[in-house]
């Protein structure tokens, strides 16, 4: 895990140079100087306070994604800083949401890479060696058993039986590696394991709210925390008291989040019955329950009424001060300018420019991109 | 067959299909996996169990099958369950990532393939003919009471199981609040008598603990310590029955313990029904009674004269059809103008009450079928003490069909509790999240693939267990029993009862079999030609029923209950 030189903090210079080239260079430099021993924030929770902000926690390098003939993201390079809010803006079709999907592992990039705390996300999403071993063993034993029983049914001798078992074992193991290889090489349009990123501490919300309609608000929130004891059936059935104790903790935390978001009165309401704005709040709350380091918010205030919107923005700023890092896609300029520490402007799949809100506001090209298209 | 025998027979079917439906409910109701090949696991469970317990093929030359291990039934049941679970895993690994409809087709394919294999590959399980020749477990010991120690242990086990179930249900029932009114005291008295006093104390004690616990709203399921009074009492009863059997008082123990539990079951069922329809007034009950009597009146001509091949018989049949038509027109009219009917409660509730009246009258009144007072008394005794058989030679005894019924129902209860704990746990929460929107679950860091595979394995294993019991119950297995259509009957059960609600699913299984049984009886009242058509029409009516439920009550009769938590005051 590496950390970044604070002096590479993107600001005015990057903004005034032409977009991708300069950024790519900056990215390369970063990769080279990666291990240069500036104090790391690795492993610390988000509660460490805002004083250590400024290090890049997510680095995006030369990201490219095409759908058929359309180039949705075309070599985007930027980074998200720890304990800062990064705004991502751009006209419709600029590739913001696709970038988001690539960041959160819901899409597989054609080329380029996303690094979370210095580690490539595609590496984070790959099954661990232990997991591989479990599946290979299971597959091997199954086919070994099948081989042995087939040989037994055919009336083979003991030696042949053993041989069949070994062949089956090898076949099973090979089959697992084979299917993985085929999937990785030929079939991959979407990674199978974006949940790994959430486990590592990067969680996203969706542009169109996707609350779990047939579950109550409380259940939506309680779903969040990772590695709950009761997600293991064995624990559920045979250690119900331990599970119940943890449920109580989670429920208490959920109540706190509900109060924070002023949704307490809706605790037992089906999420499907909530208004658009309330759903946005619920999504934010659900993400907070996961307690990640990086939160990717896709249009968090769209459809939220003004007073609630103020509330939500205050909340996000507060969380930033507590050490959470945010990346926010938003169309509302006022919101972006008020929230963001850094704004990244995308256009036609590329990073047009980036900088502090004040600089972006003045930038000619941004105005062109938005107005002149 | 006596009415209680029929009850046991139908209830065993209900229990087996309830297991099957619980398995499907886990996959479809909770995880949202559209498994159109559920019957495949039923089939695998049945055949694997049968092959495990059959003697080797050489010893049985009249049929061909791949192997017979001659193992005991316990191993066979386990093997059937595990084999179905393993098949679930193998099918799930490649198929589970498919979207809902594609998954459904793939799994349907699996079930069709398996049935075809069993049908055409004679060497596996006797080809298109039935596979038979396995003896049923413990069948040598019945009817109880027997001479041997094993028979005594078995009796003890049965007594323990039925009492544990009945006492637990009684303990859960809110009607057992402290007796305030005269009526409440009466109910308590009846419960105390029918549960032999000791059982009543256990129920009261457990009830208070449950109350205390529910007040806090802690945790999934019920912790084992809560049930210790119920379990302890049931265990004591079981031990006493066993001891009595050993000293030669088995018939007496059967009469006391199984007779009392039969009564207690009626009482508890009555309390439960009363509690369920608490908000409806007397008029709704009367309306139900009128509805059921009306149906019987409409059927009366053909019931009394229909078998005759004379002019009178034909007139009777025609009269019945006219009366039936009038009856259903009336029902439809009442449904259309429900606001103006002077009855509290919904139309559906009154239909439910009518059904209960129908069942009660069919069971207690119609089944007597005699006018001599002795015969009426005897058959009423048989019907009320349904768990006991009265053999003129031995007195009270306990036959195989009732034993098997107890075993299957015990399994269903166990399975139900495990499913409920699962559903209320974080595991169930993730499954429901996957059902609602898999991407959300993914984005929150849930390995949805693993969760879905687990649900597939577990649901299939339960179906396999149902298959294993079916193998015992059917006594011979033919491929037609596992037609792909069976899957859709199970879907009907799940959707009718209420997907995502384990209680509803069991209710659905009961309704399905009551319907099947009812149409068979209806057909028997009519002369052959018409009767045959009625049975054929049955599947069409089942389809119509599904459409009606989906249209008027998409969440099922007993829809999924929200998980409500108490909001603390702050």
So what's the ipTM on this one? 0.83
Sheet with A342-347, side-by-side order of all strands: A202-204, A294-298, A325-329, A85-89, A342-347, A350-355
A238 vs B: CB within 8 A: no
Q: How far is B124 from chain A (nearest CA, A)?
A: 10
DSSP secondary structure string, B477-490? Answer: B-GGGG-THHHHHH
Q: How far is A79 from chain B (nearest CA, A)?
A: 21
Q: How far is A181 from chain B (nearest CA, A)?
A: 14
Nearest C-alpha neighbor of A292 from the set B438, B427, B445: B445
Segment (H or E) for A51: none
Residue B475, sorted as left (phi over 0), alpha (psi -120 to 50) or beta, turns out to be: left
Residue of B nearest to A219 (CA): B429
* Cα B155–chain centre separation: 23
DSSP secondary structure string, B185-229? Answer: HHHHHHHHHHTTTHHHHHHHHHHHHHHHHHHHT-SSS--GGGGHH
Please give chain B's pLDDT, 570 residues, in tens.
578 888 999 999 999 999 999 999 999 999 999 999 999 999 999 999 999 998 888 877 788 888 888 888 999 999 999 999 999 998 888 888 788 889 999 999 999 999 999 999 888 888 888 888 888 888 888 888 877 888 899 999 999 999 999 988 888 775 566 666 777 788 888 888 888 888 888 888 877 776 665 544 444 444 445 678 888 999 999 999 999 988 888 888 889 999 999 999 999 898 888 888 878 878 888 889 999 999 989 888 887 776 666 788 888 888 888 999 999 999 999 888 888 887 777 888 888 899 999 999 988 888 877 778 888 888 888 888 988 888 777 788 888 999 999 999 999 999 998 998 898 889 999 999 999 988 899 889 898 888 999 999 999 999 999 999 999 999 889 999 999 999 999 999 999 998 889 999 999 999 999 988 888 888 888 777 778 888 888 888 888 888 888 888 888 888 887 777 777 665
Question: How many CA atoms within 13 Å lie on the side-chain side of A130?
Answer: 0
B-chain CB neighbours of A196 within 8 Å are 445
Count other Cβ atoms within 10 Å, centred on residue A338. 15
B-chain CB neighbours of A287 within 8 Å are 444
Read off the pTM: 0.86
Distances A2 to A35, A60, A294, A320, A324 between C-alpha atoms, Å: 5, 14, 16, 22, 19
Question: What pLDDT digit, counting tens, does each position of A288-325 carry?
Answer: 898 899 999 988 888 778 888 888 888 889 889 988 99
Q: How far is B116 from chain A (nearest CA, A)?
A: 20
Q: How far is A21 from chain B (nearest CA, A)?
A: 32
A260 vs B: CB within 8 A: no
Q: How far is B114 from chain A (nearest CA, A)?
A: 17
Q: Do A153 and B67 touch (CB under 8 A)?
A: yes
A194 vs B: CB within 8 A: yes
Q: What angle do CA B112, B114, B119 make, to 5 degrees?
A: 95
- pLDDT given for residue B354 in this prediction: 92
Q: Give the residue ranges of DSSP H helices in B96-246.
A: 100-120, 122-125, 149-172, 182-194, 198-216, 228-246
Q: Do B421 and A196 touch (CB under 8 A)?
A: no
B-chain CB neighbours of A205 within 8 Å are 443
- pLDDT given for residue B35 in this prediction: 92
Query: Which residues face A203 on adjacent strands?
Result: A295
B343 Cβ neighbours under 8 A, 6+ residues apart: B283, B284, B287, B350
A-chain CB neighbours of B435 within 8 Å are 214
Q: Which domains occur in chain A, in start order?
A: 6-126+193-211+292-372 (3.40.50.300), 129-187 (no CATH), 214-273 (no CATH)
Residue matched to tokens 């949202």: B32
Q: Do B440 and A268 touch (CB under 8 A)?
A: no
- B3-138+400-552 CATH choice from 3.40.50, 2.40.160, 2.60.40, 1.10.3470: 1.10.3470
Size of interface A-B (CB pairs under 8 A): 143
Query: Which residues face A81 on adjacent strands?
Result: A56
A-chain CB neighbours of B66 within 8 Å are 153
Per-10-residue mean pLDDT, chain A, length 373: 38 37 39 37 40 71 86 87 89 85 86 86 79 83 84 78 86 85 66 81 83 87 89 87 87 90 87 85 89 89 82 87 90 86 88 86 79 55
Segment (H or E) for A127: none
Query: Which residues face A76 on adjacent strands?
Result: A63
Rg over alpha carbons for chain B, rounded to the nearest Å, is 25
**A342: phi then psi, degrees, rounded to nearest 5:** -130, 145
B72 Cβ neighbours under 8 A, 6+ residues apart: B53, B137
B-chain CB neighbours of A230 within 8 Å are 220, 425-427
Segment (H or E) for B136: none
Mutate one of B86, B444, B498, B499 to test the A interface: name it (highest A CB count within 10 A): B444
d(CA B28, CA B100): 10
Helix (H, G, I), strand (E, B) or coil at A56: strand
B-chain CB neighbours of A142 within 8 Å are 86, 90
Cis ω on the peptide bond leading into residue B118 (within 30° of 0)? Answer: no
Cis ω on the peptide bond leading into residue B156 (within 30° of 0)? Answer: no
A-chain CB neighbours of B422 within 8 Å are 233, 236-237
């Amino acid at each position: 895990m590496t950390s970044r030189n604070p002096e590479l903090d993107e600001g005015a210079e990057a903004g005034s140079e032409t977009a991708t080239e300069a950024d790519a260079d900056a990215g390369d430099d970063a990769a080279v100087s990666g291990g240069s021993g500036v104090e790391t924030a690795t492993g610390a929770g988000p509660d460490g306070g805002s004083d250590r902000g400024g290090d890049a926690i997510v680095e995006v390098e030369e990201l490219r994604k095409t759908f058929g003939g359309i180039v949705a993201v075309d070599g985007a390079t930027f980074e998200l800083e720890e304990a800062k809010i990064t705004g991502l803006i751009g006209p419709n079709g600029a590739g913001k949401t696709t970038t988001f999907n690539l960041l959160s592992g819901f899409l597989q990039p054609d080329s380029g890479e996303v690094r979370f705390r210095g580690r490539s996300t595609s590496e984070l999403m790959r099954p661990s060696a232990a997991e591989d071993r479990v599946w290979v063993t299971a597959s091997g034993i199954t086919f070994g058993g099948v081989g042995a029983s087939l040989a037994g049914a055919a009336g083979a001798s003991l030696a042949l039986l053993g041989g069949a078992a070994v062949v089956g074992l090898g076949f099973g193991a090979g089959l697992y590696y084979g299917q993985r290889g085929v999937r990785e090489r030929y079939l991959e349009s979407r990674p199978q394991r974006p949940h790994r990123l959430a486990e590592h501490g990067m969680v996203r919300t969706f542009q169109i709210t996707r609350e779990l309609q047939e579950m109550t608000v409380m259940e939506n929130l309680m779903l969040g925390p990772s590695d709950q004891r009761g997600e293991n059936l064995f624990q559920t059935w045979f250690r119900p008291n331990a599970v119940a104790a943890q449920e109580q903790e989670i429920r208490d935390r959920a109540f706190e989040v509900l109060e924070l978001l002023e949704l307490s009165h809706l605790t037992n309401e089906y999420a499907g019955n909530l208004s658009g704005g309330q759903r946005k709040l619920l999504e934010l709350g659900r993400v907070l329950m996961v307690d990640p380091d990086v939160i990717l918010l896709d249009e968090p205030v769209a459809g939220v009424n003004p007073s609630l919107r103020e509330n939500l923005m205050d909340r996000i700023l507060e969380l930033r001060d507590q050490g959470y890092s945010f990346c926010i896609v938003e169309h509302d300029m006022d919101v972006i300018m008020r929230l963001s520490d850094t704004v990244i402007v995308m256009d036609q799949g590329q990073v047009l420019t980036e900088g502090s809100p004040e600089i972006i506001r003045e930038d000619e090209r941004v105005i062109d991109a938005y107005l002149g298209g | 067959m006596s009415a209680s025998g029929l009850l046991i027979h139908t209830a065993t079917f209900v229990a087996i299909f309830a297991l099957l439906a619980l398995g499907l409910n886990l996959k479809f109701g909770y995880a949202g996996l559209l498994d159109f090949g559920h019957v495949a696991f039923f089939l695998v469970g049945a055949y694997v169990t049968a092959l495990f317990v059959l003697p080797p093929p050489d010893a049985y030359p009249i049929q061909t099958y791949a192997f017979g291990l001659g193992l005991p039934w316990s191993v066979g049941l386990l093997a059937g369950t595990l084999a179905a679970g393993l098949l679930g895993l193998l099918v799930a690994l490649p198929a589970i990532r498919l979207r809902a409809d594609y998954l459904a087709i793939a799994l349907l394919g699996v079930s069709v393939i398996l049935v075809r294999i069993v049908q055409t590959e004679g060497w596996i399980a006797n080809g298109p003919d039935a596979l038979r020749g396995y003896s049923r477990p413990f069948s040598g010991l019945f009817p109880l009471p027997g001479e041997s120690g094993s028979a005594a242990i078995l009796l003890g086990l049965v007594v323990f199981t039925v009492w544990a179930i009945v006492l637990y249900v009684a303990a859960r029932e809110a009607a057992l609040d402290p007796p305030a009114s005269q009526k409440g005291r009466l109910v308590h008295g009846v419960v105390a008598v029918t549960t032999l006093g000791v059982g009543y104390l256990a129920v009261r004690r457990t009830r208070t603990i449950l109350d205390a616990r529910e007040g806090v709203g802690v945790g999934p399921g019920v912790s084992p310590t809560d049930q210790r009074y119920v379990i302890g009492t049931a265990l004591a009863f079981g031990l006493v029955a066993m001891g009595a059997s050993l000293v030669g008082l088995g018939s007496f123990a059967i009469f006391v313990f199984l007779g009392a539990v039969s009564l207690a079951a009626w009482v508890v069922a009555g309390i439960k029904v009363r509690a369920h329809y608490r908000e409806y007034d007397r008029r709704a009950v009367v309306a139900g009674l009128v509805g059921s009597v009306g149906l019987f009146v409409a059927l009366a001509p053909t019931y009394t004269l229909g078998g005759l091949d004379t002019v009178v018989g034909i007139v009777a049949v025609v009269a019945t059809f006219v009366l039936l038509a009038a009856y259903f027109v009336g029902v439809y009219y009442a449904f259309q103008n429900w606001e103006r009917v002077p009855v509290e409660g919904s139309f559906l509730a009154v239909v439910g009450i009518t059904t209960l009246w129908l069942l009660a009258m069919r069971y207690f009144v119609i089944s007597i079928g005699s006018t001599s007072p002795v015969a009426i008394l005897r058959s009423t005794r048989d019907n009320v003490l349904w768990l006991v058989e009265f053999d003129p030679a031995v007195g009270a005894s306990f036959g195989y069909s009732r034993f098997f019924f107890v075993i299957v129902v015990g399994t269903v209860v166990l399975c139900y509790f495990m499913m409920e704990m699962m559903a209320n746990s974080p595991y169930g929460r993730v499954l429901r999240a996957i059902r609602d929107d898999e991407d959300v679950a993914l984005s929150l860091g849930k390995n949805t693939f693993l969760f879905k595979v687990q649900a597939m394995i577990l649901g299939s294993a339960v179906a396999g267990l149902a298959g294993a019991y079916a193998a015992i119950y059917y006594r011979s297995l033919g491929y037609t029993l596992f037609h792909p259509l069976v899957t859709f009957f199970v879907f009907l059960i799940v959707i009718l009862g209420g997907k995502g609600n384990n209680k509803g699913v069991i209710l659905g299984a009961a309704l399905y079999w009551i319907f099947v049984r009812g149409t068979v009886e209806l057909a028997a009242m009519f002369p052959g030609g018409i009767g045959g058509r009625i049975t054929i029409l049955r599947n069409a009516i089942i389809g119509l029923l599904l459409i009606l439920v989906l249209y008027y009550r998409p969440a099922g009769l007993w829809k999924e209950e929200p998980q409500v938590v108490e909001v603390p005051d702050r």
